[in-house]
Amino acid sequence: MRPTLNRSFFKGMWNLTRTYWHSEEKWRARSLLTAIVLLNLAVVYMLVLLNKWNNRFYNSLQDYDIDRFWSLVGEFSLLAAVYIIIAVYAMYLQQMLEINWRRWLTGRYLRTWLHNQTYYRLQLLDNSSDNPDQRISEDLNLFTTLTLDLSVGLLRTTVTLASFAVILWNLSGELVLPLGGHQVAIPGYLVWVSFIYAVLGTWLTVKIGRPLIALNYHQQRYEADFRFSLIRLRENSESIAFYGGERQEEINFSKRFKKVFDNFWTIMLRRKKLTWFTSGYSQIAIIFPILVVAPRYFGGQLALGGLMQTVTAFDKVREGFSFFISSYTSLAEWQAVVNRLLGFDANVAQVNAQAGNEGVKIVDTADSELQVSGLDVALPNGVRLLKQLELRLAAGDSLLITGQSGCGKSTLMRTMAGIWPFGQGTIRRPAGQSMLFLPQKPYLPQGTLRDALLYPYGGGLISDSRIKEIMAICRLSEFTGKLDMADNWSHILSLGEQQRIAFARVMLQQPQWLFLDEATSALDESTERWLYRQLKEQLATTAIISIGHRNTLTGYHKMKLSLDGDGKWSLLQL
């Protein structure tokens, strides 16, 4: 997405910004903001006092007035002390507001991302935004920091500009220019000079720095892609080590890093151009006001104090007019961040709009049966994997779904779980009854073994003795001593052990409906037989729907649904 500044950008940005200030934390946020604004105004006031002090101080030097000199040094110490206290608290409170705002926004984004399985549905979108993790961790951080920095900066600059423009106006007097036989008097000419100087500088900076907006936008994205590929290596280290895939991985890393490098190189060249200009501009700014005021000083219209005060006032006014110059890069970055967050929001909105509008209707009914009627399961490109499926299952039933690899068995399970949006038909599910889906890849969350066993619920509800009893049934007794050990269990446990953990989870949670997607594929046949028998004993009334290729599974089910991958299906009583 190319960042653009248009009405919808400003509308989106406004929506993004305003939520926090109208949230349940609004009073705290607004009080902090008020304090920050007041402190920043106080900073400007102190700068004005210091500027006036400049005049008197340099005059005391010029007049060799030692008593006045020491009394002004004392005054300076006081002004400086107050200035420091105000500046420290202005920064401290601003950071406090930043982190509070970020905490609130992060909570909101996390909830939206997790709600309605949006994290899963997002990846099914064609135009899904890249790296949602980066949006939540990095972009929200940058957004709050930059928004506050820029807006507080703008406020402080405006007030500084207004105060010092008045001072400079009063100090500069009139410049009389001969123009075609006439004399033209320009009042407050130093203000005009600094204005022209700054506007010229700003215009050139914007012209040179403009491409940085898009470049920064891409840089963030390439960095995240590169980081993600490194994380994948860590997550899949064993498979890669078995394959000896290091060379291929290196090629992949280099490819991704090349994008980081190339883009940074372009940024670097652009920044170099910009820095040629901005550092030249700020160097000239040191001498420029002295040159402009020098004629009045040497003409005797200004004392040394006046000269020094004028120079600092000129500097402040120029700084004010040049606000866009010094904060141009931040502004560009901020715009890129806002665009990325808006892109993410748009994708989430698209997913949510689809969620209510899907072809497959999942209806919770008072009925005790699970009924599938007229169900078509399709791929995102519209190709149908399954046509007009009709199915009724009651408590205690067991159904085995078979068919060749890739025919759509897991996709049917996703559809029944309500996370696959492509297709049409109706699935009526008994309301209030618990359902547990065990996907093909066992998932163990970060944390202790207990967390893994009780997932997705927390601990506390089931006693230790019950957990240990079930672990013994699932042939996991050797791990009972490690229940509270936090480790990377998905890397430590064998696939068969992970599948047994999943079975223990089922027995502990006792769902009324259980969906197993090749949940015993890594187990030997005798353990598989044992576990299915235990399932029947422990969960006598649970309906079990399994997916599997093995013939041995047939013996544990009453019905068999065969899919042929072209949409046809057949249902057999076993």
Whole-number Å distance between alpha carbons of 509 and 461: 10
Residue 106 or 424: the one with the smaller Cβ distance to ligand ATP is 424
- Report angle CA 198, 158, 304 to the nearest 5 degrees: 65
The verdict on whether omega for the bond into residue 456 sits within 30 degrees of 0, i.e. cis, is yes
Query: Six-digit token pair at 378?
Result: 């399709």
**Only segment of 180-188, 226-234, 336-344, 408-416 that touches ligand ATP (CB under 6 A):** 408-416
Rounded to an integer, what distance in angstroms lies between the CA atom of residue 131 and that of residue 177?
61
Q: Considering the complex, state which of residue 262 and residue 566 has its C-beta at the smaller distance from ligand ATP.
A: 566
486 touches ligand ATP (CB under 6 A) = no
- In the complex with ligand ATP, the residue whose CB is nearer, 231 or 379, is 379
Closest CA to 204 of 78, 61, 324, 94: 324
| C-beta of 95 vs 440, nearer to ligand ATP | 440
CA distance 86 to 102: 24
Comparing CB distances to ligand ATP, the nearer of 452 and 563 is 563
- As measured in angstroms, the least distance from the Cβ of 404 to ligand ATP is 7
Which C-beta is closer to ligand ATP: that of 151 or that of 410? 410
Query: Would you state the structure tokens that stand for residue 16, as one six-digit string?
Result: 């993004």
Q: Taking contact as CB under 6 A, which single stretch among the options 168-176, 259-267, 379-387, 423-431 is the one that binds ligand ATP?
A: 379-387
Q: Which of 121, 156, 256, 409 binds ligand ATP (CB under 6 A)?
A: 409
Q: 54 vs 499, which CB is nearer to ligand ATP?
A: 499
In this chain, which of 187, 295, 380, 555 binds ligand ATP, going by CB under 6 A? 380
Q: Compare residues 141 and 410 and give the one whose CB is closer to ligand ATP.
A: 410
Question: CB of 376 within 8 A of CB of 402?
Answer: no
Instruction: Establish if 408 lies at the interface with ligand ATP (CB under 6 A).
Output: yes
Beta bridge pairs of residue 546 = 400, 516
Shortest gap between Cβ of 553 and ligand ATP (angstroms)?
A: 13
Residue 533 Cβ vs ligand ATP, minimum distance, rounded to whole Å? 24
Return d(Cα 350, Cα 342) in angstroms, integer: 12
- Write phi, then psi, for 365 (nearest 5 degrees): -120, 170
Could you tell me which of 334, 274, 424, 377 has the C-alpha nearest to residue 145? 334
For tokens 């200035």, name the residue.
83
Considering the complex, what minimum distance in angstroms separates the CB of residue 518 from ligand ATP?
Answer: 6
Contact 402, 546 (CB under 8 A): no
| Pick 12 or 408: Cβ nearer ligand ATP | 408
Q: Of 208 and 563, which CB lies nearer to ligand ATP in the complex structure? A: 563
Instruction: Please state the closest distance from residue 569 (CB atom) to ligand ATP, in A.
Output: 12
Instruction: Give yes or no for a contact between 323 and 153, defined as CB atoms under 8 angstroms apart.
Output: yes
546 is a contact residue toward ligand ATP (CB under 6 A): no
CB of 411 to ligand ATP, least distance (A): 3
Q: According to CB under 6 A, which residues from 506 to 535 bind ligand ATP?
A: none
Helices within 115-139 (DSSP H only)? 118-122, 132-134
DSSP string, 144-213: HHHHHHHHHHHHHHHHHHHHHHHHHHHHH-EEEEEETTEEEEEETHHHHHHHHHHHHHHHHHHHHHTTHH
Sheet architecture: strand order including 423-430 = 360-365, 423-430, 370-378, 384-393
Both tokens of residue 390?
């009709």
Nearest approach in angstroms of CB 424 to ligand ATP is 17
Residues near 561 by beta carbon (within 8 Å), at least 6 away in sequence: 391, 399, 400, 401, 402, 569, 570, 571, 572
Shortest Cβ 388–ligand ATP spacing (Å): 18
Exactly one of 107, 374, 406, 456 binds ligand ATP (CB under 6 A); that residue is 406
Query: Per CB under 6 A, which of residues 97..126 are in contact with ligand ATP?
Result: 124
Q: Which is nearer to ligand ATP, 497 or 518 (CB)?
A: 518
379 binds ligand ATP (CB under 6 A): yes
Residue 405 touches ligand ATP, criterion: CB under 6 A: yes
Q: Which is nearer to ligand ATP, 157 or 402 (CB)?
A: 402
| C-alpha to C-alpha distance for 262 and 253, rounded to whole angstroms | 14
Q: Within 13 A of 199's CA, how many CA atoms are on the CB side? A: 6
Cα(318)–Cα(286) distance, integer angstroms: 11
Does 495 contact ligand ATP by CB under 6 A? no
Q: Which stretch binds ligand ATP (CB under 6 A): 126-134, 221-229, 377-385, 451-459?
A: 377-385
Interface segment toward ligand ATP; rule CB under 6 A; list 161-169, 186-194, 264-272, 378-386: 378-386
Q: Site residues for ligand ATP, window 123-152 (CB under 6 A)?
A: 124
Least separation in angstroms between residue 402's CB and ligand ATP is 9
Tell me the per-residue interface mask from 210 to 249 with ligand ATP, x by CB under 6 A, - otherwise: ----------------------------------------
If we measure between CA atoms, which residue out of 357, 375, 356, 355 comes closest to residue 427?
375
10 Å Cβ neighbour count for 402? 20
Residue 400: CB minimum distance to ligand ATP, A:
13
Neighbouring residues of 114: CB distance < 8 A, sequence distance ≥ 6: none
Under 8 Å between Cβ of 219 and 264 = yes
d(C-alpha 445, C-alpha 505), whole Å:
13
Task: Report in angstroms how near the CB of residue 380 gets to ligand ATP at its nearest.
Answer: 5
| Minimal distance, residue 124 CB to ligand ATP, in Å | 6
Residue 572 pairs with which residues in a beta bridge? 560
The residues in 385-404 that bind ligand ATP, with binding defined as CB under 6 A, are: 385, 403
Binding flag, residue 411, ligand ATP (CB under 6 A): yes
Exactly one of 407, 452, 467, 514 binds ligand ATP (CB under 6 A); that residue is 407
Could you list the residues that contact ligand ATP (CB under 6 A)?
124, 379-380, 385, 403, 405-411
